[in-house]
Amino acid sequence: MNEPSPMILTVRNAPPLSSSNAFELGRRFSVIDSSKLCYIAYMIVYEFKLKGKEFQFRIVDEIIRTAQFVRNMALRYWVDNRNIKLYDLNKYCAVLAKQFEWAKKLNSQARQASAERVAFAIQRFFANCKANKPGKKGYPQFQKNNRSVEYKTTGWKLAEDRKHITLTDGFGAGEFKLIGTWDLHFYQTEQIKRVRVIRRADGYYAQFCIDAERRIESVPVKHNVGIDVGLTDFYTDSDGNKVDNPRHLRKSEKALKRHQRRVSKKKKGSINRKKAIKRLARKHLKVSRQRQDFAVKLARCVVHSNDVVAYEDLRVQNMVKNRRLAKSISDAGWSQFFEWLQYFGLVFGKIVIAVPPHYTSQECSQCGKIVKKALSERTHVCQCGCILDRDENAAINILAKGLKQYPGALENLNASGQTNLCLASESLLSKLTG
Ligand SMILES: [Zn+2]
């Protein structure tokens, strides 16, 4: 019951997006090149809940199933013909449409988008192999539980009032009302590059991916911070501040576990089990929204009140392999938090640096000596007289490493301070998924 990736924004370096490379198959950003800050273009996503008749949603289900069919057929085609070019997958979509009556009903660009998802999965798989990434390389899988369909610039139509959308392809799903507080009047229809229809535990949603770019000025605050995430607190910073997971989140995570137990107690295949699974799915959605909300607000606050933010690149995937730590790490949602840190770094034109993890907790932040300590030792005590909270010591080291990694970070920041980018207000962002 994985929620879709939290990465709802795609960021690319120059040149600006064109309709063909827009969304570039969901590429993520990782390295921030401060010299290019003023050229970064990105997409913003507005989400609305769809209101329509029951029979319309059954048609949407059919559309989503068809998208999955096209995706899986394209994957099968690649598995059988491993030497084909990824572009051939696009052409194969047209072949499918000729072969299968119902596949033809799906908008041609939506068919291509499904095939592109396969191409992206294949690319990622090869990239992982090439980089010799530890653990699973992510061989592209056949999809059993697809929950969304993606249209590009055709196959849908916005009503004059911008509060209704009609799916215009062969399925004839008709018009849906858009429930949400966003105002699409602000944008030209041509700026909407993708429309994604998603099924969730509590209904159907439409996401509008809009190509937009704007610049604003921001003033350096002359403060830098290092962040050490931990198991006891959500994080500790280099000033000794500790932030914990909010209480409501901990509470609903507990409730989530309760719902999980309830499901496992019910007899397999029974109606009660089905009901319990539905309730569990709704709870999952709630928790993931709360978690997202927390990550967005916290990341915004951290980036906004600092010029340079350094955090430890935990390679969360590697750590999760350690079973004992796994549960708490997956729950903590750090990688999500880091992604938002990176994103707000772009928005506010601040420097956000991922530091490789290496002795950050063992090294003395004052004299640089290695002071070995077990995980249970919470205080750093060094011969040089430095006595610090263990995590604070680590956070100071992380900041120092970050600044060393980007020696020009501060000058660059001041130089680019005039050309920062900002698109959406953060309250808008937190609402996006909530
Ligand atoms: Zn020392």
> 3-state SS of 130-148?
HCCCCCCCCCCCCCCCCCE
Q: What percent of the chain has pLDDT over 90?
A: 35
More confidently predicted of 139 and 418: 139
Taking the centre of ligand 1 as the mean of its atom positions, its distance from the CA of residue 228, in whole angstroms, is 19
Quick check: 198 and 88 in contact, CB under 8 A? no
Taking the centre of ligand 1 as the mean of its atom positions, its distance from the CA of residue 407, in whole angstroms, is 24
Average pLDDT over residues 307-312: 90
Average pLDDT over residues 4-32: 29
Q: Is the pLDDT of residue 30 over 50?
A: no
More confidently predicted of 186 and 223: 223
Confidence at 24, pLDDT banded by 50, 70, 90: very low
- Its sign, for the CA torsion 283, 286, 292, 295, is negative
Taking the centre of ligand 1 as the mean of its atom positions, its distance from the CA of residue 229, in whole angstroms, is 22
Question: What is the C-alpha to C-alpha distance for residues 142 and 72, in angstroms, rounded to an integer?
Answer: 6
Question: What is the C-alpha to C-alpha distance for residues 57 and 51, in angstroms, rounded to an integer?
Answer: 9
Taking the centre of ligand 1 as the mean of its atom positions, its distance from the CA of residue 398, in whole angstroms, is 16
Question: Side chain identity at 142, as an amino acid letter?
Answer: F
Taking the centre of ligand 1 as the mean of its atom positions, its distance from the CA of residue 380, in whole angstroms, is 9
Q: What is the pLDDT, as a whole number, of residue 35?
A: 32
Strand, coil or helix: 108:
helix
Token output for 131: 């980089």
- pLDDT tens, residue by residue, 35-45: 333 233 456 77
pTM here is: 0.63
How does strand 308-312 pair with strand 351-355?
parallel
Taking the centre of ligand 1 as the mean of its atom positions, its distance from the CA of residue 364, in whole angstroms, is 5
- Residue 46 has phi, psi (to 5 degrees) of -105, 135
Q: What is the pLDDT, as a whole number, of residue 323?
A: 54
Lowest mean pLDDT among 177-181, 386-390, 398-402, 422-426: 422-426
Lowest mean pLDDT among 18-32, 218-232, 267-281, 329-343: 18-32
Taking the centre of ligand 1 as the mean of its atom positions, its distance from the CA of residue 386, in whole angstroms, is 5
DSSP 8-class letter at 321: T
Taking the centre of ligand 1 as the mean of its atom positions, its distance from the CA of residue 284, in whole angstroms, is 45
Q: Is the pLDDT of residue 358 over 60?
A: yes
Lowest mean pLDDT among 119-123, 141-145, 234-238, 425-429: 425-429
Taking the centre of ligand 1 as the mean of its atom positions, its distance from the CA of residue 308, in whole angstroms, is 25
Q: What is the pLDDT, as a whole number, of residue 332?
A: 63
Quick check: 425 and 432 in contact, CB under 8 A? no
Strand, coil or helix: 15:
coil
Q: In what order do the strands lie in the sheet with 351-355?
A: 242-243, 235-237, 224-229, 308-312, 351-355
Question: What is the C-alpha to C-alpha distance for residues 162 and 182, in angstroms, rounded to an integer?
Answer: 10
Taking the centre of ligand 1 as the mean of its atom positions, its distance from the CA of residue 365, in whole angstroms, is 7
Taking the centre of ligand 1 as the mean of its atom positions, its distance from the CA of residue 382, in whole angstroms, is 4
Question: What is the C-alpha to C-alpha distance for residues 12 and 5, in angstroms, rounded to an integer?
Answer: 18
How does strand 148-151 pair with strand 156-158?
unpaired
Structural domain spans, the chain? 5-211, 224-244+306-433
- pLDDT tens, residue by residue, 163-208: 999 999 999 999 999 998 777 887 888 888 889 999 999 899 998 8
Mean pLDDT of the chain: 78
